Amino acid sequence: MFDKILVANRGEIALRVIRAAREMGIRSVAVHSTADADAMHVRMADESVCIGPPPSPQSYLSIPSIIAACEVTGAQAIHPGYGFLSENARFVQIVEDHGLTFIGPSAEHIRIMGDKITAKETARELGIPVVPGSDGGVATVEEAKRIGREFGYPVIIKATAGGGGRGMKVAASEDQIETAFRTARAEAQAAFGNDEVYIEKYLQKPRHIEIQVFGDGKGNGVHLGERDCSLQRRHQKVFEEAPGPAISAEERDRIGRICADAVAKMGYRGAGTIEFLYEDGEFYFIEMNTRLQVEHPVTEAIFGVDLVREQIRVAEGLPMSFTQEDLKIDGHAIEVRINAEKLPDFTPCPGKITHYHVPGGLGVRMDSALYDGYTIPPFYDSLIGKLIVHGRDRQEALARLHRALGELIVDGVDTTIPLFHALLQEPDIQSGDYNIHWLERWLAEHM
């Protein structure tokens, strides 16, 4: 069993891991850049180590510094959170070569799923339905045109190494494909240092439905239902809920079982998310994330499980603490992402928090590393908090979200809080009638 784990992250997710460790009687080590010396994760951990200057390549992404921090503190395992090194197969290999434990899946599974073409191939082999499209990378405009004709327009050109919604371009017809193809490749090269792209049929009005899976690394796998993350801006999620308002119990069981079986067959270890687009009753795999997701708390709320605790347990070689039969949905949960951003353009808005008040009461959870007087540094992403509410049903969750947002005070910087106040007034949000394009259209009309 671990006595001490190092958390290779910052912000709310670092607190999330430190909290789980503390409840398990495990000591925690925070790492931080010089810009984060006063950060909450540093204050909350049992120990902390400064690992470099503000830019993340020299601190939170610096593998030698993180390994050295383990050596000096005697931490036996590393939890990567999400982002940063969480899906870096080379990092996992180095961690293991140093006799340390990576709290997450194997390097091999991360590598397979990190390349979207091998991910799709693997998914198909495991019996998961995938989006129709090219069989692999598409190297020339001529090939792109041939695929466009084969599958019919519109198509979407996507970076093999993609992530964070970058390197994606839609072509509505053949005369757009050349520009889309070249732009996607250039963007992919700039963002990921790899210009390989592939092509998929562009679905017109899908919902983004993702299945939370969990494996013990020894051939057992379960699913914890779906999250609907269709409300997106620039392919980035802003509002997530579970269960999905459009998914029936039969559909959940069917796709959930396929995913749980896939995880079992792979021998996958830890938490993972299999992402789908869902349209007209069909699920189409787009990618698998081999880590904890930002939006994992909505799943925790409706299943009453602690996913981080579970990750640590299976990393220790223990069995999962639940079976598929134990996992029953209780009520409905919604998460909204509070970003330090100025509307209507969502420009990052770092700065000093002059007043912070956290909502409370039944069914309210706030995961945030803010405190009164904290200064949000400009070097990292703009997520400053996640407000998660849980109710007996969707109606109650919405009412609770409205109530909790009313109590939340973040003064000193602009935030996305007003966006959620406005969204809650919308009949489509109240009824759950939205798809992946809804928010962009709404923003164009209202902001």
User: Among all residues, which ones are annotated catalytic?
Assistant: 291
Closer residue to ligand ADP in complex, CB, 286/419 = 286
Nearer to ligand ADP, 82 or 322 (CB): 82
Q: How far is the CB of 132 from ligand ADP (least distance, A)?
A: 9
DSSP conformational letter for 412: S
Minimum Å distance from CB 270 to ligand ADP?
19
Q: Amino acid identity, residue 243?
A: P
Which part of the chain contacts ligand ADP (CB under 6 A), choosing from 94-102, 163-171, 257-265, 361-369?
163-171
Terminal Cα distance for the chain, rounded = 52
Q: Does 165 bind ligand ADP (CB under 6 A)?
A: yes
| Among residues 180, 277, 294, 413, the one that binds ligand ADP under rule CB under 6 A | 277
Query: Taking CB under 6 A as the rule, does residue 344 contact ligand ADP?
Result: no
Nearer to ligand ADP, 228 or 341 (CB): 228
Burial 147-169 (b: 16+ CB within 10 A, else e): bbeebebbbbbbbbbbeeebbbb
Contacting range for ligand ADP; rule: CB under 6 A; set: 48-56, 200-208, 347-355, 419-427: 200-208
Tell the smallest beta-carbon distance from residue 128 to ligand ADP (Å): 14
| CA–CA separation, 278 and 290 (whole Å) | 21
Can residue 202 be called a binding residue for ligand ADP (CB under 6 A)?
A: yes
Sign of CA dihedral 12, 15, 16, 17: positive
Binding-residue pattern over the window 215 to 244 for ligand ADP, x denoting contact by CB under 6 A: -----------------x--x---------
Distance in Å, CB of 367 to ligand ADP, minimum: 21
Confirm or reject binding of residue 152 to ligand ADP (CB under 6 A): no
Q: Which is nearer to ligand ADP, 60 or 434 (CB)?
A: 434
With CA atoms as reference, report the closest residue to 163 among 288, 259, 271: 288
Contact track, ligand ADP, 54-93, x by CB under 6 A: ----------------------------------------
Residue 162 interacts with ligand ADP (CB under 6 A): yes or no: yes
**How far is Cα 192 from Cα 136, in angstroms, rounded to an integer?**
18
Interface pattern 119-138 for ligand ADP (x via CB under 6 A) = ------------x-------
**Is the Cβ of residue 208 or residue 291 nearer to ligand ADP in the bound state?**
208
| Residue owning tokens 């590598």 | 111
Q: CA–CA separation, 328 vs 83, rounded Å?
A: 29
Which residues make Cβ contacts (< 8 Å) with residue 276, sequence separation at least 6? 129, 208, 209, 210, 211, 255, 283, 284, 285, 286
d(CA 446, CA 233) in angstroms, rounded, equals 14
- Contact call for residue 156 and ligand ADP (CB under 6 A): yes
Cα separation, 18 vs 108, in Å, equals 27
Contacts of residue 446, defined as CB under 8 A and 6 or more positions apart, other chains included, come to 422
Q: Which two tokens stand for residue 435?
A: 């798809």
Tell me which residues touch ligand ADP (CB under 6 A).
131, 156, 162-165, 200, 202-203, 206, 208, 232, 235, 275, 277, 286-287, 436
